[in-house]
Amino acid sequence: MAVRVQTEDFDAGAEISRMRLSRPDIGAVAAFIGQVRDLNNGDQVSTLTLEHYPGMTEKALESIVEQALQRWDIFDALVVHRVGALKPTDQIVLVVVSSAHRGEAFAACEFIMDYLKTEAPFWKKEQTPAGERWVEARSSDEVAKKRWKKKASSV
Amino acid sequence: MQITVLYFARLKESLKYSTEEISLPESVSNITSLKSHLASRGGAWQEMFSGRQQVRAAINHALVTNDAAIKAGDEVAFFPPVTGG
């Protein structure tokens, strides 16, 4: 299990290969990449700046990955999240999960992203032609997280 | 009791503070009463902590609810709903 918060870019292909080759009983690797969009709420975005809470961020991400490892039959999970000033098409976040079969890897990867969106202390500020503004939290992200609670209670 | 308080994102900008050491009166024992204490400073503090803004809290790096108790030496953080990913 690894969690990294960094300003520099990451090589998703290299990270995926490293995990895929880490043990021969891996049959599935699921990965998610989040990318900076050039448009938000109808306005052009030229720069997206990510602030975080050093110390708490790493603990929050580790806790989320730990929950995924307990809940699904997965071998390993990696989260890399960037902070600082980013431009459209820059990568923001990478999640990679390995397991024996695809179902567990897909589910755990999505769970990690849904929890990261609502529990990890990152905040985005975007630069638009009208000036700077903080990005508002989306209620759809809370809904996405709650799905996992319903599934847990029905199992 | 003495605690450290951190502010992030919109709160940090509006309050023009990122961190401070506070000596709390005995009446302040949890997040709700700490928010009221900070709101009583007036101005931007009142705007941020009087309930009109969504403010999340963490104690010693763990997300908490308003009824969470505060102890001497705690690191308390206030911030808006998170928007990473």
- For B24-75, what is each residue's pLDDT tens digit? 999 999 999 999 999 999 999 999 999 888 999 999 999 999 999 999 999 9
The 10 Å CB-count burial string (b at 16+, else e) for B31-70 is beebbebbbeeeeebeebbeeeeebbbbbebebbeeebeb
Give the other-Cβ count within 10 Å of B23's Cβ. Answer: 9
- In this predicted structure, the answer to whether residue A103 has a pLDDT above a threshold of 60 is yes
- In this predicted structure, the answer to whether residue A2 has a pLDDT above a threshold of 50 is yes
Q: Which of A40, A123, A124, A125 to mutate to test the interface with B (most CBs of B within 10 A)?
A: A123
- In this predicted structure, the answer to whether residue A142 has a pLDDT above a threshold of 50 is yes
Which tokens in the block code for residue A59? 């603990």
B17: helix, coil or strand? coil
Mean of per-residue pLDDT scores for chain B: 97
- In this predicted structure, the answer to whether residue B4 has a pLDDT above a threshold of 90 is yes
Give the other-Cβ count within 10 Å of A46's Cβ. Answer: 12
* pLDDT number for residue A150: 73
Mean of per-residue pLDDT scores for chain A: 95
Q: Do A121 and B6 touch (CB under 8 A)?
A: no
Give the pLDDT band (50/70/90) at residue A79. very high
Burial of A104 (0-12, 13-18, 19+ CB in 10 A): buried
Average pLDDT over residues A104-125: 98
How many Å apart are CA A56 and CA A51, to the nearest integer? 12
Average pLDDT over residues A14-23: 98
* pLDDT number for residue A155: 47
How many Å apart are CA B1 and CA A134, to the nearest integer? 34
* pLDDT number for residue B7: 98
Using a CB-CB distance cutoff of 8 angstroms, which residues of chain B are in contact with residue A34? 85
Q: Could you tell me if B54 and A138 are in contact, meaning their C-beta atoms sit under 8 angstroms apart? A: no
Q: CA of A118 to nearest chain B CA: how many angstroms apart?
A: 6
Residue B38 Cα distances to B14, B24, B41, B53, angstroms: 13, 10, 6, 14
